[in-house]
Amino acid sequence: MAELRFSALKEVFNREPVVTHAPDKNVSKYFGIDVFNLHKMEHYLSMDAFKVVKRAIEEGKSLTRREADQVAIGLKAWALERGATHFTHWFHPLTDGTAEKHDGFIEFGDNGHLVENFSGEVLVQSEPDASSFPSGGIRNTFEARGYTAWDVSSPVFIVGTTLCIPTIFVSYTGEALDYKAPLLKSLSALDKAAVDICQYFDKDVTKVIATLGVEQEYFLVDEALYYARPDLVLAERTLMGHQSSKDQQLADHYFGSIPERVMCFIKDFECEAHKLGIPVKTRHNEVAPNQFECAPMFEEVNLAVDHNQLLMDIMKRVARKHKFRVLFHEKPFAGINGSGKHNNWSMATNTGVNLLSPGKNPKTNLQFLTFLVNVIKAVNDSNELIRASVMNESNSWRLGGHEAPPAIISVFLGTYLSNTLNEIARKVTDKKMTPAQKTELKLGIGKIPEILLDNTDRNRTSPFAFTGNRFEFRAVGSSANCSAAMITLNSAVASQLSKFKKEVDNLIRKGHNKDEAIFQVLKKTILDSEKVLFEGDNYSPEWHAEAAKRGLSNIASVPESISRYLTANSREVLVGSGIFTDKELESRVEVEYEKFTKKVQIESRVLADLAINHIVPTGIKYMSSLLENLRGLKEAFPPKDYEKLGESSREAIMVISEHINGIKKLVFDMVEERKKANVIENAFDKAVAYERNVKPYLDDIRYHIDKLELIVDDEIWPLPKYRELLFTR
Ligand code: ADP
Ligand code: MG
> Per-residue pLDDT averaged across 399-426, rounded?
84
Ramachandran assignment for 133, one of left (phi > 0), alpha (psi -120 to 50 degrees), beta (any other):
beta
Check whether residue 572 and residue 633 sit in a common domain. no
Q: For residues 362 and 372, what is the distance between their CA atoms, to the nearest angstrom?
A: 15
Q: Are strands 411-412 and 146-150 parallel, antiparallel or unpaired?
A: unpaired
Nearest ligand to residue 217 Cα: 2
Best residue among 212, 368, 470, 486 to mutate for probing ligand 1's pocket (most ligand atoms within 8 Å of CB) is 470
Higher pLDDT, 141 or 182: 182
List, chain by chain if needed, residues with CB within 6 Å of any ligand 1 atom: 211-213, 215, 282, 295-298, 344-346, 354, 469-470
Beta-ladder partners of 349: 208
Kind and range of the H or E element at 299? Answer: strand 299-300
pLDDT at 455 over 60: no
Residue 707 lies in a domain: yes
530: amino acid identity, one letter: E
DSSP of 311-359, one letter per residue?
HHHHHHHHHHHTTEEEE--S-SSTTS---BEEEEEEEEETTS-BTTS--
Do 265 and 329 lie in one domain? The reply is yes
Q: Mean of the pLDDT values across residues 287-311?
A: 96
Is the domain of 455 the same as that of 541?
yes
Q: Of the bound ligands, which one is closest to the alpha carbon of residue 460?
A: 1
Most confident of 77-91, 368-382, 393-407: 368-382
Q: Which of 154, 178, 202 finishes a domain?
A: 178
Counted residue by residue, the chain has a size of 729
Last residue of a domain, one of 132, 158, 178: 178
For position 125, what pLDDT does the model report? 81
pLDDT band at 456 (very low <50, low <70, confident <90, very high): very low
Please name the residues in contact with 57: beta carbons below 8 A apart, sequence gap of 6 or more.
38, 152, 153
DSSP bridge partners of 165: 89
173-177, 200-204, 689-693, range with the lowest pLDDT: 173-177
Question: What ligand has the least distance to the C-alpha of 213?
Answer: 1
Q: Is residue 11 part of a domain?
A: no
| Proportion of the chain above pLDDT 70, given as a percent | 96
Q: Is the pLDDT of residue 345 over 50?
A: yes
- Considering the domain boundaries, does residue 23 fall inside one? no
Distance 458 CA to ligand 2 centre (A): 12
Ligand 1 closest atom vs CA 348: 23
Q: What is the pLDDT of residue 61?
A: 80
| Residue located nearest, by CA, to atom 14 of ligand 1 | 213
Residue 725, class by beta-carbon neighbours within 10 Å (0-12 exposed, 13-18 middle, 19+ buried)? buried
pLDDT at 141 over 50: no
Can you tell me the distance from the alpha carbon of 599 to that of 253, in angstroms, rounded to the nearest whole number?
Answer: 31
CA 191 – ligand 2 centroid, Å: 27
- Cβ contact 148:142 at 8 Å: no
Compute the distance from residue 215 Cα to the ligand 2 centre, in Å.
6
Q: What is the pLDDT of residue 415?
A: 86
Indicate which atom in ligand 1 lies nearest the CA of residue 357: 23
Cα 295 to middle of ligand 2, angstroms? 7
CA-284 nearest atom, ligand 1: 7
Residues 309 and 206 in one domain: yes
The answer to whether residues 495 and 552 belong to one domain is: yes
Per-residue pLDDT at 442 exceeds 80 = no
So what's the pLDDT on residue 399?
84
* Amino acid 477: pLDDT: 96
- Please tell me the distance between residue 15's alpha carbon and the centre of ligand 2 in angstroms: 29
Predicted confidence at residue 344, as pLDDT, reads 97
Residue 133 has pLDDT above 80, yes or no: no
Residue 206 has phi, psi (to 5 degrees) of -120, -10
Residue 281 CA: which ligand is closest?
1
Predicted confidence at residue 690, as pLDDT, reads: 98
Q: Which ligand is nearest to the CA of 459?
A: 1
Among the listed residues 664, 653, 665, the one whose alpha carbon sits nearest the alpha carbon of residue 615? 664
Specify the CATH number for the domain of residue 706. Answer: 1.20.120.1560
Does 93 reside within a domain?
yes
The ligand 1 atom at the shortest distance from the C-alpha of residue 296 is 14
Amino acid at 537: D
More confident site: 142 or 481: 481
Residue 142 has pLDDT above 70, yes or no: no
**Do 377 and 497 belong together in one domain?**
yes
Given a cut of 80, whether residue 679 has pLDDT beyond it is yes
CATH label of the domain that carries residue 166: 3.10.20.70
Are residues 165 and 248 both part of a single domain?
no
Kindly tell me if the per-residue pLDDT of 359 is higher than 90: no
How many Å apart are CA 200 and CA 221, to the nearest integer? 53
Q: Is residue 479 domain-shared with residue 429, that is, in the same domain?
A: yes
What pLDDT shows up at residue 127?
A: 79
User: Residues 133, 93: contact at Cβ < 8 Å?
Assistant: yes
Residue 49 confidence (pLDDT) above 60: yes
Same-domain status, 236 and 366:
yes
Question: In the prediction, which pLDDT does 450 show?
Answer: 65
As for how many domains the chain has, the answer is 3
Burial class (CB in 10 A: 0-12, 13-18, 19+), 245: exposed
Give residue-wise pLDDT tens across range 521-555. 999 999 999 999 999 889 888 999 999 999 999 99
User: What pLDDT is stored for residue 568 in this prediction?
Assistant: 97
601 or 447, which is more confident?
Answer: 601
Probe residue for ligand 1, chosen from 344, 355, 375 as the CB with the greatest number of ligand atoms within 8 Å: 344
Q: Residue 547: which H helix or E strand, with range?
A: helix 541-550
Query: For ligand 1, atom 1, which residue shows the shortest CA distance?
Result: 215
Ligand 2 center to residue 293 CA distance, Å?
Answer: 7
* pLDDT of amino acid 471: 96
Beta pairing partners, 209:
348
Distance from Cα 256 to the centre of ligand 1, integer Å:
21
Q: Would you state the pLDDT for residue 433?
A: 74
| Mean local confidence (pLDDT), 384-406 | 86
Structural domain ending residue among the three candidates 148, 178, 208: 178
Ligand 1: which residue has its CA nearest to atom 17? Answer: 213
162 assigned to some structural domain: yes
- Is the pLDDT assigned to residue 144 strictly greater than 80? no
Whether 402 shows a pLDDT value over 70: the answer reads no
Q: Please name every residue paired with 341 in a beta bridge, in sequence order, or none if there are none.
A: 216
Q: Is the pLDDT of residue 106 over 90?
A: no
Mutate to test the pocket of ligand 1, among 298, 339, 371, 451 (most ligand atoms within 8 A of CB): 298
Q: Are strands 280-285 and 291-296 parallel, antiparallel or unpaired?
A: antiparallel
Q: Within a domain: residue 588?
A: no
Dist CA 482 CA 305 (whole Å): 6
- Same domain flag for 64 and 138: yes
The C-alpha atoms of residue 617 and residue 629 are separated, in whole angstroms, by 18
Is the dihedral angle over the CA atoms 634, 638, 644, 645 positive or is it negative? Answer: negative
In a domain, 164, yes or no: yes
Range of the domain at 102: 31-178
Classify residue 686: in a domain, yes or no: yes
Q: Which residue has the higher pLDDT, 101 or 632?
A: 632
Ligand 2 centre to CA of 306 (Å) is 20
Please tell me whether residues 172 and 192 are part of one structural domain: no
How high is the pLDDT of residue 452? 61
DSSP H stretches of helix in 551-646: 558-563, 568-574, 582-610, 616-636, 639-645
Q: How many angstroms is it from 476 CA to the middle of ligand 2? A: 14
For position 431, which CATH number holds?
3.30.590.10
| pLDDT tens-digit map of 558-594 | 999 999 999 999 999 999 989 999 999 999 999 999 9
How many other CB atoms sit within 10 Å of the CB of residue 628?
11
Same structural domain, 408 and 334:
yes
Average pLDDT of span 590-607: 97
